[in-house]
């Protein structure tokens, strides 16, 4: 019966409302709800045993919940025949053990079964669909090989091709990238993102939080069978929710070149044994200096014009600061001293306006932490992370110390000899 309060609301392609599941007498899921519209890519994230696979099983009706409802295009899934479910929902399992000796093509052809009558044979349209699915999942070159002869990652892509051949509006993927190298992992998620842009709905259990953040519109963070947070990646991935769900210290910054969060698990590190050279001017650089000094970091600053907020704050806090007279330009001796300090520090923090004259100072740093704000894209590089002023101590503590790196280089050199 339609709900008069929500009459006219678009019906989500897939929804779960209040799912609770017990297995072997143990409560595995408690009151799990989620919604995925057409064109949504939703990631289920969370620690081992959180209930991600169990949620996916409930979503494709291979287990019945104790309570709660799954709807596909508005229809309760328990009211659909298994053939109707297979016409709407395709899934790839977590395990990639395909024990029968089918070829890759035969395995992908199984995806057509829900579209055929009981004794109907595949026609040329089905064969075209199978060929296109194999090509999209990059397994066409293995078409005639037995699946048992493929590597785990290759089999995973065959299972994705089978799901694509099923031509369903909904895709449920359990760890689609777990066996894949980084190139194939990215390609697989790009492919799913493309399919979603074409109008499909995808829900995937993904362990890698950074890949999930980069490719998915929405994350559902599960822990102990409960939804701990749900929403866009930036809302879900923060140190509090991650600490709660994973019982781990993390640093959350930003993936270079994107708005997506970057989660770095932190060892028990202490910023007070770090040295940092701050480059930049104005209030933001002054705030960075204050935040770092308050956390016990040894801070040097420059080159900055005398009288600038960063120069004054650094002087108040007894930091070494390289200054030049205002409007005088940067002389060689000042640039050399600041470059020397940046090169000797564990990291450099860039904040506010860095100025052309400081480019050699920035270039001398081993690692850069850019303060989130204007100008950040200009200095993006693989050795750069982006952090808010508040998170700077964690960001600099996450990078290895210069002495630790030197030790590792020396030990590698000794091993090579």
Ligand X SMILES: Nc1ncnc2c1ncn2[C@@H]1O[C@H](COP(=O)(O)OP(=O)(O)OP(=O)(O)O)[C@@H](O)[C@H]1O
Give contact residues for ligand X (rule: CB under 6 A).
23-24, 26, 28, 46, 48-54, 205
Tokens at 203, concatenated: 């829900």
Closest separation in Å from C-beta 86 to ligand X: 22
Q: Which is nearer to ligand X, 36 or 222 (CB)?
A: 222
Tokens at 339, concatenated: 């470059």
Distance between CA atoms of residues 138 and 183, nearest Å: 12
Q: Which is nearer to ligand X, 23 or 110 (CB)?
A: 23
Q: Which is nearer to ligand X, 52 or 115 (CB)?
A: 52
Closest separation in Å from C-beta 391 to ligand X: 27
Closest separation in Å from C-beta 22 to ligand X: 9
**Which is nearest to 319 in space by CA: 329, 311, 308, 327?**
311
Check: CB of residue 176 under 8 Å from CB of residue 92.
yes
Q: For residue 417, what are the contacts with CB-CB under 8 A and spacing of at least 6?
A: none
Determine whether 242 is exposed, middle or buried from the number of CB atoms within 10 Å of its CB (0-12, 13-18, 19+): buried
Tokens at 275, concatenated: 């040295």
Closest separation in Å from C-beta 250 to ligand X: 17
Check: CB of residue 83 under 8 Å from CB of residue 77.
no
3-state secondary structure 301-361: EEEEECCCHHHHHHHHCCCEEEEECCCCCCCHHHHHHHHHHHHHCCEEEEECCCCHHHHHH
Q: Which is nearer to ligand X, 95 or 110 (CB)?
A: 95
Q: For residue 260, what are the contacts with CB-CB under 8 A and spacing of at least 6?
A: 210, 213, 214, 233, 234, 254
Q: Which is nearer to ligand X, 23 or 248 (CB)?
A: 23
- CA 173, 175, 180 angle in degrees (round to 5)? 115
Supply the DSSP string of 226-274, one letter for each residue: EEEEEESHHHH-SHHHHHHHH---EEEEE-TTSSSEEEEE--S--GGG-
Closest separation in Å from C-beta 308 to ligand X: 50
Closest separation in Å from C-beta 54 to ligand X: 3
Distance between CA atoms of residues 358 and 285, nearest Å: 14
Q: Which is nearer to ligand X, 64 or 272 (CB)?
A: 64
Closest separation in Å from C-beta 42 to ligand X: 15
Closest separation in Å from C-beta 70 to ligand X: 15
Closest separation in Å from C-beta 159 to ligand X: 16
Closest separation in Å from C-beta 29 to ligand X: 8
Q: Which is nearer to ligand X, 43 or 369 (CB)?
A: 43
Q: Which is nearer to ligand X, 50 or 389 (CB)?
A: 50
State the CB neighbour count (10 A cutoff) for residue 257.
Answer: 10
Determine whether 197 is exposed, middle or buried from the number of CB atoms within 10 Å of its CB (0-12, 13-18, 19+): exposed
Q: Which is nearer to ligand X, 189 or 310 (CB)?
A: 189
Q: Which is nearer to ligand X, 55 or 281 (CB)?
A: 55
Q: Which is nearer to ligand X, 28 or 70 (CB)?
A: 28
**Parallel, antiparallel or unpaired: strands 89-92 and 384-387:** unpaired
- Helix (H) or strand (E) segment spanning residue 35: strand 26-36
Closest separation in Å from C-beta 64 to ligand X: 13
């Amino acid at each position: 019966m339609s709900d008069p309060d929500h009459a006219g609301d678009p019906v989500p392609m897939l929804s779960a409302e209040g799912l609770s599941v017990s297995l072997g007498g143990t409560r595995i899921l408690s009151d799990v709800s989620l919604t995925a519209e057409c064109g949504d890519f939703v990631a289920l994230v969370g620690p081992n045993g959180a209930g991600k696979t169990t949620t996916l099983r409930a979503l494709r009706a291979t287990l019945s919940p104790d309570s709660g409802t799954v709807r596909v295009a508005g229809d309760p899934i328990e009211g659909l025949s298994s053939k109707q479910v297979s016409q709407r929902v395709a899934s790839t399992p977590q395990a990639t053990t395909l024990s029968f000796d089918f070829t890759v093509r035969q395995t992908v052809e199984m995806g057509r079964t829900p579209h055929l009558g009981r004794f109907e044979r595949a026609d040329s349209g089905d064969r075209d669909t199978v060929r296109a699915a194999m090509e999209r999942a990059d397994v066409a070159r293995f078409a005639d090989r037995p699946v048992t002869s493929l590597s785990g990652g290759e089999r995973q892509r065959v299972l994705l091709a089978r799901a694509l051949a099923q031509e369903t509006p909904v895709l449920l993927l359990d760890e689609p990238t777990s066996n894949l190298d980084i190139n194939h992992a990215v390609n697989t998620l790009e492919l799913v993102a493309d399919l979603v842009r074409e109008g499909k709905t995808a829900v995937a259990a993904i362990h890698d939080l950074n890949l999930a953040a980069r490719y998915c519109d929405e994350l559902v963070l599960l822990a102990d069978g409960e939804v701990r947070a749900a929403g866009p990646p930036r809302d879900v991935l923060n140190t509090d929710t991650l600490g709660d769900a994973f019982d781990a210290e993390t640093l959350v910054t930003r993936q270079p070149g994107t708005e997506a969060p970057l989660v770095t698990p932190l060892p028990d590190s202490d910023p007070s044994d770090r040295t940092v050279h701050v480059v930049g001017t104005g209030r933001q650089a002054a705030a960075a200096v204050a935040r770092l000094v308050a956390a016990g970091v040894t801070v040097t600053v420059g080159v900055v014009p005398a009288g600038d907020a960063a120069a004054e704050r650094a002087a108040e806090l007894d930091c070494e600061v390289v200054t030049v007279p205002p409007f005088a330009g940067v002389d060689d001796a000042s640039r050399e001293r600041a470059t020397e300090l940046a090169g000797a520090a564990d990291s450099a923090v860039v904040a506010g306006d860095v100025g052309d004259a400081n480019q050699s100072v920035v270039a001398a740093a081993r690692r850069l932490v850019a303060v989130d704000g204007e100008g950040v894209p200009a200095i993006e590089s693989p050795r750069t992370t982006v952090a808010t002023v508040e998170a700077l101590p964690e960001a600099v503590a996450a990078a290895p110390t210069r002495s630790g790196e030197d030790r590792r280089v020396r030990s590698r050199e000794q091993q090579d000899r």
